[in-house]
Structure 1
């Protein structure tokens, strides 16, 4: 049976490390890390995510600067909000909750975020540096960074291994593939146009599943002993639940855990790590700002 990678426990350990760093910044430099969270509209899923992020900030001592804009806010209003936060020295990280309403150009808003405060890691210059050999981005996107942390803190070596990333999104698939390459893995990306994905995935020592397709990867797709990180979060009907649904990953967990060497569950795997990495990026930004100000 696979070793279950407990993302909740690992994330909690990281939270403790971050809380100590925050305490040191406050005690030694009078610097309180600040994270501005901008949400436009009242999408229930976005509201839930934002509440979780704000709660996590409070737990580790990061100041959460909450900006709630109406769903009909103009693109100009959102852009001006971001530019004001760029200029605010008490803000070390800016997060604009996606998706934005359809009348707002997401790329324009995300590109307007200062690269020095891009704690989501989505600025084109940060992604560009991630793709270049010998360059380091100021921030790495939180979910891909969390995937790598799960591997490293579980004692799973990446160097020299064959890794397959399932999915090629800008948010997870592409950046996590770039991170694996930086760590000297040999990487393949499987996507919707890939012929015979099963045999490609079955060659992998490490699988990062980020396709957004419930239970796509079966036990016979997995090399015995492989490490499986499941990023997928898919709602499937479940009449036994009060909500009428339950969350599952891209990997058929119950059958896969009898073949894999390590596997992360859904929920409780990558999800908690994404928020932990957001907090880590924010504190790293505050540390950088402190050095620049000689505080």
Structure 2
């Protein structure tokens, strides 16, 4: 009986994951990034007849600031159009459910921004708030309710969770086809495997790649360094860049000489959560820098008493990097835009 159940579960997962080429292409038509399976080219190694010459940079040069806020707004405008089209065609709109545990200020701010973004794009949103000392059973009960609700197409659990809770167990309870955060092991596994298309890619890495593509940055064959290896950003970011045929290195807390490793990179994605970790001396002249970090630093001159800085020392990177994302206004708005996009895609799948 257990074997039959496992086979049935596997069939259900395969039915969900294995989309036709037409279905894959019709889902995120509003993004510039193509379906991942279209990037899986044969891996034929061709040795250099002559080593490529290094590119020389003389002195400081102009650094392009990649405006994530403007790009996210452009994507959200297209999402509004798609949501209204869905409402007129099938009489429903995408629905997103958010589970918030505790009263951590950062999490409350992130959730508030997500709910506001849903309202502005016509996506239905539902928020379930639970106390800091709630049990795993109480969270799982809420998730089961959202899993069965046909008006909810995306479910996310705001991280981090209180330490007494089993994060992996809770995230695994989100139904695969509603895992718009892209944290389910099957979504992560399909991201890692060539020839597979995950139902959802984690929102922040997906937004980073969208920024790179729209900024005209070539990924194939480039040396990319991802600083940080969290399950939320660092790991899926590394996997996603590999799917785009970049040569990827990961720098983490145990890396020897991280400055030297990073300075070899054409593309640097900083996602360590350490303010001003990456100095100008870490960067190769002309590198493209995506700064995922958002760290509050005390500043009495600011109205809130603090200002937000990234993992990259922005002032030092200017004049060294060829392009960089600012903090705030870079990756943050794109993360929310990708969440909306994933929720829209989840709703579209139920209509195919």
TM range (shorter): over 0.9
3-state SS of paired residue (2:172): helix
For residue 105 of structure 1, report the CA deviation from its aligned partner. 1.6
For residue 206 of structure 1, report the CA deviation from its aligned partner. 0.5
Verify the 8 A CA contact 1:235 1:247 in the aligned structure 2. yes
Aligned to 2:266: 205
For residue 136 of structure 1, report the CA deviation from its aligned partner. 1.1
For the residues of structure 1 that align with 2:130 and 2:259, how far apart are their CA atoms? Answer: 45
- Superposed CA RMSD in Å reads 1.1
- 251, 254, 258: which one aligns with 2:319: 258
For residue 271 of structure 1, report the CA deviation from its aligned partner. 0.5
Aligned to 2:308: 247
1:285 aligns to 2:346 (yes or no): yes
- 65, 72, 77: which one aligns with 1:11: 72
Aligned to 2:14: none
- How many residue pairs align between the two structures? 291
Verify the 8 A CA contact 1:165 1:209 in the aligned structure 2. yes
Instruction: Name stretches of at least 5 consecutive residues in structure 2 with no aligned partner.
Output: 1-61
Verify the 8 A CA contact 1:165 1:208 in the aligned structure 2. yes
3-state SS of paired residue (1:236): strand
Query: What aligned pairs does 1:46-61 form with structure 2 within 5 A after superposition?
Result: 46-61=107-122
The alignment's TM-score, normalised by the length of structure 1, stands at 0.96
Verify the 8 A CA contact 1:31 1:290 in the aligned structure 2. no
**What are the superposed Cα offsets for residues 194-238 of structure 1, whole Å, 9 maximum, x if unpaired?**
111112111111100111111111112111111100001112222
3-state SS of paired residue (2:351): helix
Instruction: Name stretches of at least 5 consecutive residues in structure 1 with no aligned partner.
Output: none
The alignment's TM-score, normalised by the length of structure 2, stands at 0.81
Higher Rg of the two aligned structures: 2
Aligned to 2:150: 89
- Give structure 1 regions of 4+ aligned residues with deviation exceeding 4 angstroms: none
For the residues of structure 2 that align with 1:115 and 1:38, how far apart are their CA atoms? Answer: 16
1:176 aligns to 2:237 (yes or no): yes
For residue 44 of structure 1, report the CA deviation from its aligned partner. 2.0
For the residues of structure 2 that align with 1:67 and 1:111, how far apart are their CA atoms? Answer: 18
For the residues of structure 1 that align with 2:159 and 2:259, how far apart are their CA atoms? Answer: 32
